[in-house]
Amino acid sequence: MKPYAAVPATDALPVRSVLVVEDEEQMRTMLEDNLQFDGYRVTSVSSGEDALGELERSAYALVLLDIRLPGISGYDVCKRLRSRGTRVPVIMLTARNQEADRVTGLDVGADDYVSKPFSVRELLARIKALAKRAGLDASADHAQQIGAHVRLDRRSRQVFLDGVEVHLTNKEFDVLAFLCEDPGAARRRSEIIEHVWGGQWFGPTKTLDAHVAAVRRKLDGGIVITAIRGVGFRVDAVG
pTM: 0.54
pLDDT at 52 over 50: yes
Q: Among 70-74, 98-102, 159-163, where is mean pLDDT lowest? A: 98-102
Q: Where in the chain is the domain with CATH 1.10.10.10?
A: 143-237
Handedness of CA 66, 70, 76, 77 (dihedral sign): negative
pLDDT at 139 (0 to 100):
43
Q: What does the pLDDT average to over 41-49?
A: 93
Encode 140-205 in three state secondary structure: CCCEEEECCCEEEECCCCEEEECCEEECCCHHHHHHHHHHCCCCCCCEEHHHHHHHHHCCCCCCCC
User: Would you say 23 and 45 are in contact if contact means Cβ atoms under 8 Å apart?
Assistant: no
CA distance 76 to 104: 11
Most confident of 10-24, 104-118, 150-164: 150-164
- Across the range 201-222, mean pLDDT stands at 86
At the topology level, CATH places domain 143-237 in: Arc Repressor Mutant, subunit A (1.10.10)
Average pLDDT over residues 167-196: 89
Mean pLDDT, the chain, integer? 82
Give the residue among 32, 21, 24, 151 at the shortest CA–CA distance from 88: 21
pLDDT tens, 214-224? 999 999 999 99
Name the segment(s) of the chain with CATH classification 3.40.50.2300. 9-134
Q: Which CATH class is domain 9-134?
A: alpha beta
Query: pLDDT tens digit string along 94-131?
Result: 876 666 666 776 778 888 888 888 888 888 888 887 87
Residue 199 is predicted with a pLDDT of: 58
What pLDDT was estimated at residue 97? 62
Residue 168 is predicted with a pLDDT of: 94
Q: H/E element holding 40?
A: none
CB half-sphere exposure, 208, CA atoms < 13 A: 25
Longest CA–CA span in the chain (Å) reads: 57
pLDDT at 235 over 80: yes
Segment among 115-119, 130-134, 202-206 with least mean pLDDT: 202-206
